[in-house]
Every structure is written in structure tokens, then in C-alpha cells.
Amino acid sequence: MDRRTVLRMGGLALTGTLAGCGGSGSDDTPAGAETDNLVDMTDDLNFEPAEITVSVGETVTWTTTGSVPHSVTAYEEQLPDGAAYFASGGFDSESAAREAYPSEGSVASEESYEHTFETAGEFAYFCIPHESGMKGTVIVEG
Ligand SMILES: [Cu+2]
């Protein structure tokens, strides 16, 4: 669990406590109840956080927050059994993603890529132009 999730849960618990005092908070569903699962791609050439844990059926959104473009590209050979391949640009294989970059599959400044994980397991991925150090993992819990 990453730090932002912990902070968000703390905020929800506090909101619930306050609503309980008023006695009529039943329609006051917290806007953050659906988790965001955000990963920043930074000018430091990192995925932030580098490891994120989600549940099956949830979507992760990667956003290039600086000026340097990145890619989100799954390591095909490390996919859990039966899992769909994913990569920014919508490729269905790692080789296709590598060949097309950077004309396709690049996530420019302020742009995002998102993928919904339908299979449990650990998903290792990387950024094509910064592969030597820019890697991440999505852990999907069933
Ligand atoms: Cu990168």
C-alpha cells in the first residue's frame, strides 16, 4: 500500500466520523471511494510509485508530469499466465511496442495512459527510452 492510499483512507475515516456526528450523512458518499491508482512519470526518470497494488478490475493511470516523454511497456515474458499484454500505444506485444517507439507509444508531457487489470499477479513494466533505470511493477490482487 502506498503512502497516498494510507493518507486517503485516513481522510475517509475522519469524514465518516464527522458525518456520524451530524446524523444525516448517509448520502454523503466520499468522492475518493473509488481509488485512483495514479502513477507519475517524472523528469527524474522514475515511475512514482514504482510499485503499486490494485485489485482485479481496477485501472491504473500513468501520467507524464514533467517535460520528458516516456512509455509504459510491459515485459511480455513476465506477464502472469493468461494476462493481456499492455503498452502505451495499445500494442499487443513488446516487440511491436519497441519497434514503433517513439513515433507511437510515447506519452508526452501532461498526457496519460491507462490500463485496466483483469488478471491477478505481478506485472513488470518499463519505459522504452529509459529502460536502464525506469521500471515499475503493478501488483494485482484477486
Ligand atoms: Cu521514461
pTM: 0.77
Give 30's pLDDT tier (boundaries 50, 70, 90).
low
Are 60 and 47 in contact by the 8 Å Cβ rule? The answer is no
The mean pLDDT of the chain is 85
pLDDT at residue 29 in the model: 43
Q: E-assigned strands of 1-142?
A: 38-41, 47-48, 51-55, 59-64, 73-74, 112-116, 121-126, 135-141
Give 53's pLDDT tier (boundaries 50, 70, 90).
very high
Give the C-alpha distances (Å, rounded to integers) separating 61 from 16, 54, 77, 79, 113. Answer: 27, 12, 22, 19, 6
- Looking at residue 20, the DSSP 8-state letter turns out to be H
Q: How far is the CA of 56 from the centre of ligand 1 (A)?
A: 26
The CATH H-level (homologous superfamily) assignment of domain 35-141 is Cupredoxins -  blue copper proteins (2.60.40.420)
pLDDT at residue 125 in the model: 98
Residues whose beta carbons lie less than 5 angstroms from ion ligand 1:
70, 127, 130, 134
pLDDT at residue 21 in the model: 44
C-alpha to C-alpha distance for 70 and 21, rounded to whole angstroms: 47
Report angle CA 79, 84, 90 to the nearest 5 degrees. Answer: 110
Per-residue pLDDT tens over the stretch 36-48: 999 999 999 999 9
pLDDT at residue 112 in the model: 98
Per-residue pLDDT tens over the stretch 101-131: 999 999 999 999 999 999 999 999 999 999 9
**pLDDT at residue 14 above 80?**
no
Q: How far is the CA of 45 from the centre of ligand 1 (A)?
A: 5
Q: How far is the CA of 52 from the centre of ligand 1 (A)?
A: 17
Cell of 119: 488478471
Lowest mean pLDDT among 27-41, 42-56, 87-101, 127-141: 27-41
**pLDDT at residue 94 above 80?**
yes
